Amino acid sequence: MTTPDAWRVAALVLAVAAVIAYAVLSGVWVGTDTGWYRSLEQPAWQPPSWVFGLIWPYNFIALAVVSGVVAWQAPPLRVAVLLVFLLASVAAALAWAYMFYVPHDFVSSAVALSAAAVLTVPIVIIAFLTGWVWGVVLLPYQVWVALAASLSWGYLRLNA
């Protein structure tokens, strides 16, 4: 058995740490003012609240697992591209969580989540290039982030 390259271990740790930070920090900010959120007029395409409880754990696990697999298996350039886009998309998604739930800035949060949706596309492509199953596993996350971005714009239109 060969020892993995240190850079692959570092890439895997960085990818998983980014997803853990994403889950923890977004959870902190999303739970800051639920009364305010419930008072908002919701877009017509807003899924029921129980869907959020199912999809987010799946999304975080899928993102961590697929990013880890890519870090472990993909060629170095793909790993580097994945990490750049992963870190940028996580930063944009966290900016949304903070901007939407803390200062209630509908415009900045909608822009941030739209950026996260766009930044996620290369991650999904790299997942498919690593193995079709990994791309399929990550597709629900891409769809969800795009849906969430559209919801953010809907909240802006209805409540700002």
97-145 residue pLDDT tens: 999 999 999 999 999 999 999 999 999 999 999 999 999 999 999 999 9
Query: Over the Cα atoms of the chain, what is R_g?
Result: 16
How many structural domains does the chain have? 1
Residue 1 lies in a domain: no
pTM (whole model) above 0.85: yes
* Confidence label for 34 from pLDDT (cuts 50, 70 and 90): confident
Confidence (pLDDT) at 33: 64
**What per-residue confidence (pLDDT) applies to 86?**
98
Answer yes or no: are the C-beta atoms of 110 and 146 closer than 8 Å: no
Examine residue 70 and state whether it is found in any structural domain, yes or no: yes
Helix 106-130 with 132-159: angle, nearest 10 deg: 170
Q: Which amino acid is at 145?
A: V
Q: Give the residue numbers spanning the domain of 11.
A: 6-159
* pLDDT given for residue 32 in this prediction: 62
pLDDT digits (tens, 9 = 90+) for 36-90: 888 999 999 999 989 988 999 999 999 999 999 999 999 999 999 999 999 999 9
pLDDT reading at 1 higher than 60: no
